Amino acid sequence: MLVFAGGDGKNVFPSVIDFISGFYPTPPLVRLDRFGDAWAKLEFFNPLSRSIKDRTVQFLLRKYLSNDLRGHLVFEASSGNVAISLAALANVYGFRYRAYTTKHLPETTEVLLKVLGAEVVRVDREMIDEEFWRWVNEEAVRNGGAINLNQFENVDNPEGHYYVTGEEIVRQFRSVGKVPRVLIAGIGTGGHITGIARRLRDEFGRVYVVGVEPAAGSAIPGIKRLESGTRWVREVVDEVVDVSLEEAVRGGVITVARNTGLLIGLSSGAVFQAFLRVRERFGDVTYLLIFPDDIYKYVGIISHFVNSA
């Protein structure tokens, strides 16, 4: 009898649904050895959006998957990776997806959404804030009760990251005998930084949490400013660090690439830049950096900085 195996190391699956449900890859936890005891969780190993948002979408969709989603309409506000993951899963589970996004949606992300068949509604706004996502919810109600997952207020978001992402990280640090003392992560919906911070503190006690936001006047896909209305984050962060787009590229993406060979995305670059600043005060302790995605959606943006160097 032919046996399909995922967890035994062969990574062979009889369908895409089996792949999604049976192979939740544990993204690597990698020490950035040129930068002391800094460990990066490489969330771009998630398969659909190549980002941590694959996890978020799975957490938010799970209560709907017991019913047939085929033909249902899903509305969601997203700055990129949630939209890509939802657009991919729409083709797997047979629902229709309408992505509401801002004017700063990278062209590459829009192309990916259209390749996947999503409807893209680009709104002339600087960022996704509380007013924006509440308006999307109202649009869903007006359109016959379409599903609105609302990643910004849905408690399944931080809870999923507590029980899955956070638990993975705890096991990984235990396996190398390390205890993280500083967590550095971007402020987006607030889901992953909140869930991971809570899990680490429950396991290891005091962990200093640094949230990373775009500097005033900067737009960095995937993260937003704390005052945009993001929930949960205020409960866990000890400090918020502002990073400009240029700092995220030059001091983050390029620095990491030229020292490690890793091609990280813009929000990951912002996290790394914040790490460099925080390290000046905390010195040689164990750091955890969450790298949400990789470089490839943002090559057009990054090219302006590389070409002007």
Grouping H, G, I as helix, E, B as strand and the rest as coil, residue 41 is strand
User: Could you count the other beta carbons within 10 Å of the beta carbon of residue 53?
Assistant: 29
Q: What percent of the chain has pLDDT over 90?
A: 75
For residue 161, give the 3-state DSSP assignment: helix
Local confidence band at 2 (pLDDT 50, 70, 90 cut-offs): very low
Residue 108's Cβ-count burial label (10 Å; 0-12, 13-18, 19+) is middle
Per domain, the residue ranges of the chain are 24-49+155-307, 54-148
Say yes or no to pLDDT of 308 above 70.
Answer: no
DSSP state for residue 215 in the 8-state scheme: P
- Residue 4 pLDDT greater than 60, yes or no: no
Question: Burial, 261: exposed, middle or buried (Cβ in 10 Å; 0-12, 13-18, 19+)?
Answer: exposed
What lies within 8 Å, CB to CB, of 258 at 6+ separation is none
Residue 5, pLDDT above cutoff 70: no
pLDDT digits (tens, 9 = 90+) for 243-282: 999 999 999 999 999 999 999 999 999 999 999 999 999 9
Element of type H or E holding 289: strand 287-291
Angle (deg, nearest 10), helices 53-61 and 191-204: 90
Residue 308: phi and psi, rounded to 5, are -95, 0
Cα gap 169→28, rounded to integer Å: 9
CATH T-level assignment (fold) for domain 24-49+155-307: Rossmann fold (3.40.50)
Q: Count CB neighbours of 244 within 10 A.
A: 17
CATH no. for 54-148: 3.40.50.1100
The pLDDT of residue 7 is above 50: no
Q: Using one digit for the tens of pLDDT, what is the confidence trace for 220-233?
A: 988 989 988 677 99
Contact 43, 293 (CB under 8 A): yes
Q: Which two tokens stand for residue 183?
A: 């967590």
